[in-house]
Amino acid sequence: METGGFLIRELSIGDYDALVALWDESGLPYKPAGRDARGHIARELEGPSSIFLVAEVDGKLAGAVLGTHDGRKGWINRLSVAPKQRRKGIGRALVRAVEERLAGIGIEIVTCLVETWNETSLAFFEAIGYVRHDDIVYFSKRKGPDV
Ligand SMILES: CC(C)(COP(=O)(O)OP(=O)(O)OC[C@H]1O[C@@H](n2cnc3c(N)ncnc32)[C@H](O)[C@@H]1OP(=O)(O)O)[C@@H](O)C(=O)NCCC(=O)NCCS
């Protein structure tokens, strides 16, 4: 899909190094020894629950999103746009592309967890029509710090 000077396509495992470089450049925390390890991402890509997309500008990775679903809800994970490419609609287009694919398999609710310090991301999700829920507290149980 080519729009506004960028192209949205599926992530392939060959993009992994560029993806990690994008996360670094974006200041996005990730788990290189855990669920963001190359092997883990490769396994997810082969499974039925991942909608991993990237945006390219002039052949270079400019943004990425790891969309997932659990059969009931869709999730936006690891959304990132390279600092020089922000405010051009790439983030919005990546999320829309995940939403469209989820709708195509009958999933009509899309969700995202955003840390409260991340004001840019909070403003972004509100701007693209997501409803904020301050009455929900996130619980997790981890096998280890890298998970
Ligand atoms: C959040 C992020 C993905 C947004 O990507 P983007 O491509 O710049 O977003 P868009 O250009 O599609 O912005 C859509 C709208 O969101 C809002 N928005 C985006 N960035 C904003 C900011 N810094 N401040 C306020 N509003 C913002 C605006 O309303 C914008 O529309 P406009 O540019 O017409 O005003 C990007 O800032 C990013 O990679 N941040 C670092 C990583 C991160 O925090 N990811 C989210 C993890 S939950």
pLDDT per residue as tens digits for the range 40-86: 999 999 999 999 999 999 999 999 999 999 999 999 999 999 999 99
Domain 2-127 has CATH 3.40.630.30: yes
Residues in the ligand 1 pocket, defined by CB under 6 Å: 26, 28, 79-81, 86-92, 114, 118, 120-121, 123-124, 127-128
pLDDT per residue as tens digits for the range 16-50: 999 999 999 999 889 999 999 999 999 999 999 99
CA-nearest residue, atom 1 of ligand 1: 121
* Residues sharing a CB contact under 8 Å with residue 90, sequence separation 6 or more, in sequence order: 6, 55, 57, 62, 63, 81
Residue 28: CB atoms within 10 A of its CB come to 16
CA 127 to chain centre: 17
- Domain limits, the chain: 2-127
Ligand 1 atom nearest to CA at 118: 44
Residue 132 parent element (H or E) = none
How much is the pTM?
0.96
- Residue 3, pLDDT above cutoff 80: no
